[in-house]
Structures are given as structure tokens and as C-alpha cells.
Amino acid sequence: MNEVVFLLEEPSAQDLLEGLLPRLIPDHWSVRYIPFQGKQDLEKRLVRFLHAWRNRNARFVVMRDQDSGDCRTIKSNLLALCDQARRPDALIRVACRELESWILGDLDAFGREFACTQATRRSSRAKFRNPDAIGSPVQELRRFVPTYQKREGAKRMGPLLCPDRNLSNSFRVFCQGLTRLVAEDR
């Protein structure tokens, strides 16, 4: 059976992916989400978790936020853990800064979903042309919608995000990698 297992830093990533992935993964693939309790929990348990997985044909996607760390170092560390677990083919993706950068990547959709014309009007400003460079994306979203909550926002925005119009490079790289991963039937 074709299976993709997403190992995620936090539950809000699952919330977003549940809305996004039906448009990216063919129906004949089974999808599982394993959210951890933060990046330390993910990294601490990753080797043991991958090693214990019974379906040897499963494909793994390990995803976490960059936060203030160095993207290359984070990815290198995660790849080393996957190698240690004998799963060197795992797809590692780091959301630049935070998952909310992906939402900032489509401020027009965010503005429509949250009835915030201010977000739509500001979407063309230079600051928002590279959402992966914004230091605290969730704070930016809260400037538009002060009551913005990560999980609710992720659930509402997941079905609306589209790689073709999203300005977040890390979002587009995630989608491209996932598309290649599921194209390779074992």
C-alpha cells in the first residue's frame, strides 16, 4: 500500500496539511499525520519512531519550523537522524521561520477568508513579497486579525493555499518535493 507519513512539529501543521494535501496527493495514497509536541520532541523521538514503522514501503515527510535557527543546519541534523534510522529517503522540509509564513504567502486568500480588506490591500507591499524573511509571521497575521489563533487559522487556510500563487518559497519547495515523492510509486 502506498503510504505517506507526515512527522510534524506541532498539531497546527496537521491542521493546515489536512486542507492542502487532498489537492496534492493522489487518492490511492494513504496519509497519516503524527504531530509531536514541539521540535525537541520531534527530534528526540524521530529515530526510534522511523525505526519502528512496520510498512517498509512508507514514505516519510519530516516537517518543522525554522524559527530562529539556521535552515541548512536544521535540515542537515534531521537528515542525519533519518540516516541513523535507515530512512535516508525521508523528505525533510523546513518552513522558513514559521508555518504561518505559508499563510502570509497568500495574503489575498487570508484577507478573503478572514474578511480583512487591510490584508488584501497590503499584499503587494515589498515586506510581504518574501514572507519567508518575516521574523514573526504569526505576529504579522495578528496585526491584521488580533484574535488570530494558529490552529484555527491553519484549518481555515489549508484548503485555500495554492503553490502557483503563493509567495513563500518554502511552501512551494514543500509542494514540489511532495509531488515528486508521490510520483515515485514503489
What would the pLDDT profile of 124-137 be if each residue is shown by its tens digit? 899 999 999 999 99
Residue 56 — pLDDT band, cuts 50, 70, 90? confident
* Whether 20 and 64 share a structural domain: yes
* Whether 115 and 148 share a structural domain: yes
pTM reported for the whole predicted model: 0.94
Residue 168 has pLDDT above 70, yes or no: yes
- Total domains in the fold of the chain: 2
Residue 27 has pLDDT above 70, yes or no: yes
Distance from C-alpha of 87 to C-alpha of 24, rounded to nearest angstrom: 23
Q: Which pLDDT score, from 0 to 100, does residue 68 have? A: 87
Q: Which pLDDT score, from 0 to 100, does residue 185 have? A: 64
Residues near 75 by beta carbon (within 8 Å), at least 6 away in sequence: 92, 94
Domain, as residue range, for 178:
3-98+168-183
* Whether 7 and 65 share a structural domain: yes
What is the Cα Rg of the chain in Å?
Answer: 16
Q: Which pLDDT score, from 0 to 100, does residue 126 have? A: 92
Residue 15 DSSP one-character state: H
* Whether 15 and 87 share a structural domain: yes
* Whether 109 and 173 share a structural domain: no
How distant is the alpha carbon of residue 176 from its chain centre?
A: 12
* Whether 73 and 37 share a structural domain: yes
Share of the chain above pLDDT 70, in %: 99
* Whether 63 and 110 share a structural domain: no
* Whether 20 and 109 share a structural domain: no
Residue 186 — pLDDT band, cuts 50, 70, 90? low
Residue 149 DSSP one-character state: -
